């Protein structure tokens, strides 16, 4: 499912964004969702994924990350005028920043009537 495609429910306007980050040095995003996302390399094991959608999600999104190899990932979702996901990856000790490939999935809704439910 990761990197396959964007899935949107017309009834509740739920959208799933899925992509993969690979590569050392200059990271690369792949999958159909990668066409409207960009990755910013902030340093060793520190990435910001910017989702360039036409409209912001109407409510808080949920994001999930899965590393391709052993280690630890820390995820932070920032909502500004664009959705930004900060991913920091570490070696298995949890303190040493490390370059890791990962899959990322973000689930949100564009339906304003779901706010508060």
Assigned domain for 2 exists: no
Assigned domain for 114 exists: no
Assigned domain for 64 exists: yes
| Distance of alpha carbon 11 from alpha carbon 110, whole angstroms | 10
- Which residues span the domain enclosing 77? 7-109
- Domains of the chain: total: 1
Assigned domain for 102 exists: yes
Assigned domain for 115 exists: no
Q: For every one of its 117 residues, what pLDDT tens digit does the chain have, with 9 covering 90 and above?
A: 334 345 555 556 777 888 999 988 788 999 878 888 899 999 999 999 988 866 566 667 788 999 999 999 999 988 656 788 999 999 999 999 999 999 999 887 766 665 554
Assigned domain for 14 exists: yes
Assigned domain for 116 exists: no
């Amino acid at each position: 499912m990761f990197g396959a495609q964007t899935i949107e429910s017309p009834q509740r306007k739920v959208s799933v964004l899925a992509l993969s980050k690979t590569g050392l040095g200059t990271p690369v995003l792949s999958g159909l969702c990668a066409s409207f996302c960009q990755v910013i390399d902030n340093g060793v094991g520190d990435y910001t994924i910017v989702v360039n959608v036409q409209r912001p999600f109407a409510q808080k999104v949920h994001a999930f990350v899965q590393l391709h190899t052993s280690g630890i990932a820390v995820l932070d979702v920032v909502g500004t005028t664009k959705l930004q996901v900060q991913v920091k990856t570490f070696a298995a000790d949890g303190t040493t920043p490390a370059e890791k490939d990962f899959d990322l999935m973000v689930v949100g809704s564009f339906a304003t009537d779901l706010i508060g439910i």
